[in-house]
Amino acid sequence: MKRSVTYHFLLFGPLFPLLLFSFSFAQPSPDTAELYLKCQPTNFTCDHVVYNEIKFPFRTDAQPDYCGHPNYILTCDEENKSLMMNIGDKPYHVRQNIDYDKQVLDLIDADLFSAVHLPNSCPEKITNTSISSLESSYLAYVTNDINLTLYLNCSISTILTPGKLFPIPCTSSFPEFFGQNAFFTLAKEHIEFSENEQCNATVLIPVYDQFNLGDFSSGTKNFSDVLMLGFGVKWTIGQTWCGNCTNSGGLCGYNVTSPNSPACFCPAGAMSNGTNCSPGMRPASVFFVSFLDLYSGKTCPRLIFANQMIILGILFCSLVNY
Ligand SMILES: *[C@@H]1O[C@H](CO)[C@@H](O)[C@H](O)[C@H]1NC(C)=O
Ligand SMILES: *[C@@H]1O[C@H](CO)[C@@H](O)[C@H](O)[C@H]1NC(C)=O
Ligand SMILES: *[C@@H]1O[C@H](CO)[C@@H](O)[C@H](O)[C@H]1NC(C)=O
Ligand SMILES: *[C@@H]1O[C@H](CO)[C@@H](O)[C@H](O)[C@H]1NC(C)=O
Ligand SMILES: *[C@@H]1O[C@H](CO)[C@@H](O)[C@H](O)[C@H]1NC(C)=O
Ligand SMILES: *[C@@H]1O[C@H](CO)[C@@H](O)[C@H](O)[C@H]1NC(C)=O
Ligand SMILES: *[C@@H]1O[C@H](CO)[C@@H](O)[C@H](O)[C@H]1NC(C)=O
Ligand SMILES: *[C@@H]1O[C@H](CO)[C@@H](O)[C@H](O)[C@H]1NC(C)=O
Ligand SMILES: *[C@@H]1O[C@H](CO)[C@@H](O)[C@H](O)[C@H]1NC(C)=O
Ligand SMILES: *[C@@H]1O[C@H](CO)[C@@H](O)[C@H](O)[C@H]1NC(C)=O
């Protein structure tokens, strides 16, 4: 059964000029195999943590533009040891578990993350997460996000609504931001302050809804625990077309020549029509690849695709199986 490569070469060697001839006359047509290779999911290491299989709509700054959306560029902050993504002009830390099926990722405001790294330390400042900057990055809150509301620089010192409003233990660390008295709540309803008891600022940041307010009253949970939670966002980029591309074996990306148009990059041997891959190749390529397949000792099913080559294919197959 075993045949040597030399034997094959002797058989088909004379056909080489013909093959090269037909190959070089092939019409240029959209071939995305090279882009498919350039946009392969990559394992991205940041501070010894491996973020597995980064792919569309995300890309690392080491990958070409067309592999991901310009708003979804992941970078490694070496100094703060974390994976980062900007939303608007605000940096966020990206948690390890990007869920490509649900299209959800978990984020923490970078200002909070530095505090998270040092347990029980306070962030220097906390700023609103603006819904409009999320929306302009095609991100939406997941259903179990709630607002953490911070009341800063308050004139009150006694808590009027026990069980709902809790002191922020950061006033002595950063009085210039938190003021003399500051409070937080996870309650969904608005908290009313009386006329002569006001707070100078309100800040809203999203967090996962994971606590009973009672845990803060009892002391089981505290402000540091809340800051570490982060929140979830669902991305909508590609949701109408990317599934079709990946289901057909492709990788999603953007058109190299018109970067706002979605593209589907297909492996060698498949053609892209923009959003789907389908089997099939240029006749000359089929001929070429099939010839290589024959050479490497494989059987001949690929030749079926090349209508023009069927007769030659039968000849090849019968020679090989001889
Ligand atoms: C990435 O890591 C996963 C799991 O550790 C591994 O299965 C996969 O082969 C890696 N991919 C690359 C491109 O190195
Ligand atoms: C690390 O975090 C601090 C505090 O949030 C920030 O000021 C600094 O710019 C960050 N470092 C880098 C390299 O982004
Ligand atoms: C927090 O409150 C703001 C302003 O009311 C709202 O736009 C946003 O959707 C809320 N966030 C969450 C996670 O519910
Ligand atoms: C706190 O509020 C008072 C007025 O209510 C204001 O004068 C002061 O500058 C504020 N401090 C901070 C840190 O915002
Ligand atoms: C908070 O304090 C600042 C600085 O004194 C002041 O300009 C601002 O009006 C105050 N805001 C509120 C809501 O009291
Ligand atoms: C944060 O957002 C809330 C609700 O939109 C707003 O009332 C508040 O003034 C904002 N705080 C700051 C510091 O911009
Ligand atoms: C907050 O709670 C955590 C455990 O959940 C504990 O390790 C930490 O010391 C607490 N911090 C404060 C300031 O009480
Ligand atoms: C895929 O294509 C079908 C029709 O061809 C369409 O109904 C569907 O919404 C598309 N999108 C995804 C994500 O599959
Ligand atoms: C990119 O767009 C051009 C037309 O602007 C089109 O001819 C080409 O096939 C597209 N490429 C991909 C990979 O979709
Ligand atoms: C690409 O092919 C798929 C099925 O093969 C079809 O549903 C889709 O409409 C085609 N898209 C374009 C842009 O031709």
Domain boundaries, the chain: 5-29+282-320, 34-121+236-252, 145-232
pLDDT at 109: 94
- Please state whether the peptide bond connecting residue 167 to the residue before it is cis, i.e. omega within 30 degrees of 0: no
Read off φ and ψ for residue 242, nearest 5 degrees.
-65, -35
Q: How confident is the model at residue 281 (pLDDT cuts 50, 70, 90)?
A: low
Which ligand is closest in space to the CA of residue 179? 4
Mean pLDDT for all residues in the chain: 80
Amino acid 161: pLDDT:
72
Average pLDDT over residues 196-221: 91
Residue in 91, 21, 35, 87 with CA at minimum distance from that of residue 63: 35
Ligand 7: residue of 224, 226, 227, 229 to mutate (most ligand atoms within 8 A of CB) is 224
Strand order in the sheet with 90-94: 59-60, 73-77, 82-87, 90-94, 104-109, 231-235, 139-141
CA nearest ligand 7 atom 1, residue: 222
Tokens of 118: 């040092």
Ligand 1: residue whose CA is nearest its atom 11? 43
Residue 301 pLDDT exceeds 50: no
Asked if pLDDT for residue 304 goes beyond 90, the answer is: no
Within 6 A (CB) of ligand 10 lie 273-276, 278
- β 42-46/49-54 pair status: antiparallel
Q: How confident is the model at residue 141 (pLDDT cuts 50, 70, 90)?
A: very high
| Residues 219 and 97: beta-carbon distance below 8 Å | no
The C-alpha atoms of residue 306 and residue 111 are separated, in whole angstroms, by 59
Helix ranges (H only) for 248-322 are: 283-295, 310-320
Question: For residue 19, how far is the Cα from the chain centroid?
Answer: 42
Residue 116, pLDDT > 50, answer yes
* Ligand 4 center–CA 175 separation, angstroms: 10
Indicate the angle between helix axes 283-295 and 16-24, nearest 10 degrees.
150
Cis, peptide link before residue 259, omega less than 30° from 0: no
pLDDT number for residue 189 = 81
218 C-alpha to center of ligand 7: Å?
12
32-89 pLDDT, tens digit per residue, is 899 999 999 999 999 888 999 999 999 999 999 999 999 999 999 998 888 999 999 8
Q: List alpha helices for 137-263, DSSP H.
A: 175-178, 213-218, 223-227, 242-247
- Residue 204 CB less than 6 A away from ligand 6: yes
By three-state DSSP, how is residue 271 classified?
Answer: strand
- Of all ligands present, the nearest one to the C-alpha of 244 is 8
Query: DSSP character for 27?
Result: P
Residue 319 has pLDDT above 60, yes or no: no
Total-model pTM: 0.79
Phi, psi of 207 (to 5 degrees): -140, 160
Residue 217's closest CA among 164, 290, 274? 164
> Residue of the nearest CA to atom 9 in ligand 7?
120
Please state the separation of Cα 227 from the chain's center in Å: 23
Which tens digits make up the pLDDT trace of 226-270? 998 899 999 999 999 999 999 999 999 999 998 889 999 999 989
Whether pLDDT at 170 is above 50? yes
Percent with pLDDT over 70 in the chain: 75
**pLDDT, position 91:** 94
The pLDDT, as a whole number, for residue 103 is 95
Ligand 8 atom nearest the C-alpha of 239 is 13
Mutate to test the pocket of ligand 10, among 248, 265, 275, 277 (most ligand atoms within 8 A of CB): 275
Kindly state the average pLDDT of the residues 198-215: 92
Beta carbons of 47 and 78 less than 8 angstroms apart: yes
Could you identify the residue written with the tokens 């492996």? 267
